[in-house]
């Protein structure tokens, strides 16, 4: 008598890995490898939740930016994700580094990064931030408010000068969410051209002999996938540079147009093309400067997410599967403490079951975290095999940026480790945060 078994669902070999690292490969047994490293094996070795970072992908993306902007400074925005290994990769590939605090600056210099290739900015720099920047010899400091001008000038030793830029609000709204649009005057960053505060700050800096104004800086938003807003920003920045020349007789040698370059989090989504960005921005800059009879300033771009985001994969283990009120919730052993972005910005991901071949057709589920918040949702209404069960592994691609850099100690779960993968081997970059790590800070009874 013949026995008929249920037909297996398509193996992960048919899964869409377009938003995964370029090295990702689906195996016939349901596993996925990244840079030749099995994700299931890595989960067994390092535990879950786990973050893997494809070193080759990060380096390739750094090189792509250097190729697209050969005559510009490419500066990695460290807030996307920072550890000593990433600092070393950026240095190896010829990038500068953009930091926002004395902590980020200290970690970078402790890894041997040259401080002269570091840019410091932030909307509210503490006295410690400014002091560290002066003491360590940071290459450029971006001033974000009028009070910072006097504070920084007071810290610079007599007879010395420090290179500074002014963060300008060009009046352009761009970005994937209202909370990450920084190019208009209704948010906390920068000095507006419209109300004259940028022009006033420029005049104040030029009156300070210990400060050397070398250029303008703008950052119009994050997760931007169109070139057009950057072109518009360049046009307005050239206009302000023309005003500086006409009013103060100074031709500024540098222009920093920030970052915010968008990536795809799910198959089919758009991503910003750095080569196309470079062509359009360079053309606008050269045309604008020629029309204004200005020398073309040296350009700086600050990609962060675009370098590390697509290189990262988060791996979770399923703890429970629950059906309630017609919905299926798949709860994993991480959540908003290692990835707050869905709760903050409504970001949507494409998790994938790995480590085995499913035997059921896809079903719509919501992947949630383990934390005591109704908003602890990692992926809402996504398709996963209908037989997903406790013990399974779920992998989330495009997880390299703004996950662990914004991680918290909520519920004292502990932040996951970070593992670099390359050429079939895996090495620990950042170990898992333990209860002992967290307890050491609690010094009173």
**Which residues are identified as catalytic?**
372
Residue 176 CA to residue 28 CA, distance in Å, equals: 36
User: Tokens standing for 231?
Assistant: 């072109």
CA distances from 167 to 102, 191, 239 (A): 19, 6, 15
List 97's β-bridge partners, or say none: 76, 118
Residue 29 CA to residue 20 CA, distance in Å, equals: 19
DSSP 182: -
List 425's β-bridge partners, or say none: 422
Residue 311 CA to residue 387 CA, distance in Å, equals: 29
Assign 212 to helix, strand or coil.
strand
Q: Is the separation of the CB atoms in 42 and 408 below 8 Å?
A: no
| Interstrand relation of 140-143 and 312-324 (parallel, antiparallel or unpaired) | unpaired
Smallest CA-to-CA distance from 139 within 186, 105, 176, 183 is with 105
**Among positive and negative, which fits the CA dihedral 226, 228, 231, 237?**
negative
């Amino acid at each position: 008598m013949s026995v008929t078994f249920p037909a297996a669902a398509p193996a992960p070999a048919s899964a869409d890995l377009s938003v995964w690292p370029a090295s990702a490969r689906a195996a016939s047994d349901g596993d996925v490898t990244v840079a030749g490293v099995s994700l299931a094996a890595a989960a067994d070795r390092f535990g879950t939740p786990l973050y893997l970072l494809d070193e080759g992908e990060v380096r390739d993306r750094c090189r792509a930016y250097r190729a697209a902007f050969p005559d510009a400074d490419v500066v990695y925005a460290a807030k996307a994700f920072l550890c000593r290994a990433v600092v070393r990769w950026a240095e190896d590939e010829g990038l500068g580094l953009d930091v926002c605090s004395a902590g980020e600056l200290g970690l970078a210099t402790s890894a041997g990064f040259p401080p002269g290739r570091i840019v410091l900015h932030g909307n509210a720099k503490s006295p410690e931030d400014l002091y560290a920047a002066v003491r360590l010899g940071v290459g450029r400091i971006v001033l974000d408010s009028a009070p910072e001008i006097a504070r920084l000038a007071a810290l610079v030793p007599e007879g010395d000068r420090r290179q500074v830029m002014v963060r300008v609000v060009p009046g352009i709204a761009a970005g994937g969410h209202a909370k990450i649009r920084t190019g208009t005057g209704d948010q906390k960053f920068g000095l507006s051209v419209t109300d004259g505060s940028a022009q006033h700050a420029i005049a104040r800096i030029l009156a300070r002999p210990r400060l050397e104004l070398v250029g303008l800086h703008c950052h119009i938003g994050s997760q931007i996938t169109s070139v057009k807003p950057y072109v518009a920003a360049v046009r307005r920045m050239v206009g302000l540079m023309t005003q500086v020349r006409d009013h103060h007789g100074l031709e500024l040698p540098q222009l920093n147009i920030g970052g915010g370059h968008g990536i795809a989090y799910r198959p089919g989504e758009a991503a910003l093309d750095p080569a196309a960005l470079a062509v359009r921005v360079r053309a606008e800059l050269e045309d604008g400067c020629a029309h204004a009879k200005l020398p073309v300033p040296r350009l700086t771009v600050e990609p962060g997410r675009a370098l590390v985001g697509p290189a990262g994969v988060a791996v979770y283990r399923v703890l429970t599967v629950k059906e309630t009120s017609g919905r299926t919730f798949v709860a994993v052993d991480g959540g908003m403490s290692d990835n707050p972005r869905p709760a903050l910005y409504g970001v949507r991901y494409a998790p994938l079951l790995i480590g085995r071949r499913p035997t059921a057709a896809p079903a719509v589920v919501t992947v949630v975290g383990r934390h005591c918040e109704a908003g602890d949702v990692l992926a809402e209404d996504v398709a996963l095999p209908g037989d997903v069960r406790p013990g399974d592994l779920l992998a989330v691609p495009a997880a390299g940026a703004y996950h662990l850099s914004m991680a918290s100690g909520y519920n004292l779960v502990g932040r996951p480790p970070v593992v670099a993968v390359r050429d079939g081997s895996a090495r620990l970059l950042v170990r898992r945060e333990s209860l002992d790590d967290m307890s050491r800070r609690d010094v009173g009874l």
